[in-house]
Amino acid sequence: MKPEPLLAAQKTVLVFGGSFDPVHQGHVAMVQHIAERFAVDEVRIIPAGQPWQKAGLVATAEQRVAMLELAFADTLKVDFIIDQQEIDRAKQQIASYTVETLQNLRQQYAPQTAFILLIGADQFRNLSTWKNWQQLFQLAHIVVAARPGYSLQLDELPGEFVQLWQQGNDDIASFKQCYFGKTWLETGLAWDISATRIRASLQQQGQSKESIALIPRKVLDYLQSHSIYN
């Protein structure tokens, strides 16, 4: 008989950060897919703060938050929160690091909460350069979504990082049996889509067949009525 897990998580929270300039169908599909596959109880979407010391994002923080609300309101079966902690810190000219964002979240939830940090394969390649990246494995499980054009390239990443990644590789059920440290590469969906390409397409062609297919309808209407990316 399998032993009862000693540390079964009481709640699983999916954490997904990004610029979301704008949020697109790739983001929505990723969150929906992972939320269902890992049976998460809650989703935290965390838009990055507006950079104050370098060329900024195109849409304002308020617009990106509004678009996220529109994109996720009808699509998720579980509670979701657009968490503005990184935007708030940026307004005070405080830099945000994912490790601190996760630490803040840990303080808001019961200790028996499992967090799943969701990132795309492009971000995975940089993960070992993020501030205190080792701690990320002690704060959350890490799920990487495959992305066309980006392989994980484990052989090019630091050994210590690869070891933690491979050590954590386990089945999906194990993500509920502890609160952090498990890892998973999700290959079940791979949208060839980026916000950069969408912005370029909107700037060059306005609302085209492509942008209509890649952006949630309500977000598209919002973009149009606020003349963003024209």
Q: Which residues bind ligand ATP (CB under 6 A)?
A: 18-21, 26-27, 30, 119-120, 122-123, 145, 147, 191, 193-196
The closest of 21, 49, 24, 12 to 228, measured between CA atoms, is: 21
By beta-carbon proximity to ligand ATP, the closer residue of 79 and 122 is 122
Shorter beta-carbon distance to ligand ATP: residue 45 or 114: 45
Task: Output the smallest distance, CB 148 to ligand ATP, in A.
Answer: 7
Question: Do residues 70 and 27 make contact, with C-beta atoms less than 8 angstroms apart?
Answer: no
Nearer to ligand ATP, 111 or 149 (CB): 149
Shortest approach of ligand ATP to residue 30 CB, angstroms?
6
Q: How far is the CB of 128 from ligand ATP (least distance, A)?
A: 15
Smallest distance, Å, CB 51 to ligand ATP?
12
Nearer to ligand ATP, 120 or 216 (CB): 120
Please choose, from the candidates 73, 4, 78, 67, the residue with its C-alpha nearest in 3D space to the C-alpha of residue 34: 78
Bridge partner list, 80: 43
User: Which residues, in sequence order, are bridge partners of residue 225?
Assistant: none
**What's the min distance (Å) between Cβ of 74 and ligand ATP?**
20
d(CA 135, CA 22): 29
Please name every residue paired with 12 in a beta bridge, in sequence order, or none if there are none: 114
Nearest CB to ligand ATP, comparing residues 78 and 185: 185
Q: What span, in angstroms and rounded, lies between the C-alpha atoms of 51 and 217?
A: 28
d(CA 114, CA 121): 22
Separation between Cα atoms, residue 176 and residue 182, nearest integer Å: 10
